Chain A
């Protein structure tokens, strides 16, 4: 009858069960016994090998390990006891050893189980005895494997959560029930500007009283009604959002988990927006106050006998009302621009043509004050830009050049080729401005206010808008001016936007 070889595939039973057949190594001095045992096991569908002495067994196991080893206690050279010990040591308990011994040496067999063998089998035994012991050993082997796998997964998960916490964009701080920080990830250390050390206290980590009080409140909150807190914290120039939730252990309060998020940018944007809204409110209310005052004076009838005065006041109402409308338009434009709702169409244009048509538009206003408009330019000034943007830039500058000019003055627009850019100087002969005024004119809502500018209306948004539009092209604007010596605004506009 052909026998399956030691490394041959397992028998019928092995192919039917999903798991790999148990690998059994028989280490037995007596040849007949050895073969018999191997055959019984192989017939059972197990992956059985057999060998006659300890040295050979260790060699074979090193090449291809077994799950269960049946060790004859009375082996030559290396005896069963020390072989058991060696197997346990070399394979770190991963091979389950069963000692086989004659009745005479049962006592020593029992002794060996104390030194790492799992079970023992007394010779002579029936095939059923052998199968029964080996299967029990197999179960033991599977338990060991599962435990090992579980432990390694656990260690892996711990390692994983540690790595996750350390690589988080948010800061993480864990405090125990005594309010002592027990975990501070590198991000939290960075945010708080502090190194974690043992024995740190809550105020060490959060000197801010509000934040510390919020942590205390969360830790002290009832476990059945756990409380979460959200506070903001200023750290240096920055702003942190601190979210605190309770750490529960088996339903009991066990401390707090603090998540820190850098909200500096949104916080600043919010502050800018608030300031802008305040400024807008101020700018809207000022002209309305003036208009309402005039109307009240007129309606009171106190100037009914002085129609020219009434007319003068109504004229001013109209001027201020129109300026208010301009302001609302500018605000809507800035808003849509900020929201990205303005579609730019970059197309080939001639700067000279664009500026000439703006000058044509302003001719009526300039004539009223006898201001001469001049254009000095090369014949053609090609560039790529959005027509609406160019109009907005030069409309504002030319309009200012007329408004802040003197009667019978001049406004010159000079275009010069500066290789990759066009330089456009808008030169007026007007009231000019001081150094302090020059520094502020590109800020939203800033308007030069003095005797000379009294009565000139404006939104305070024109130059700020020019600057913003230019920034979108990688361009810039500068100003040179002295009081009463006119102003020169110089625009540098790249021929092809970045």
Chain B
């Protein structure tokens, strides 16, 4: 199923458009920002849908690998991921927040996978030691996965902080900004 693990050509085109318009709008062009707003509204559902499909398949592949196809371990991982997703996304998460949560969870699994593999390689009882070049590759990937995981958390926090509706209250002649979930 190689094609199902990649974004379609059409989605890639939308992403390239979004990237291009974001760069231009960031330079301060208000007209481009309006155009970006329109494109974000139009293409978000498609990109989120496709990326979520990939997230589901990636999760399935990673669970199978980490658990070494042990059904009990698979179930435990599934439950752990569901709990993580629930804790991170919380209630009333927007579709973008759900996607960013999926990204955090997938990146976490990748970090876990590299940690498990590295621990196995560095275990003293390992009868088949690997070559230094293999270890170097693994360390590089482990570092990159960790960086990506932390970046994923940062973006989710930024989106949650900046894009959730906020209200301004005037209380005892003091202005108070309340951001985030207004239901609480």
Report whether chain A binds chain B: no
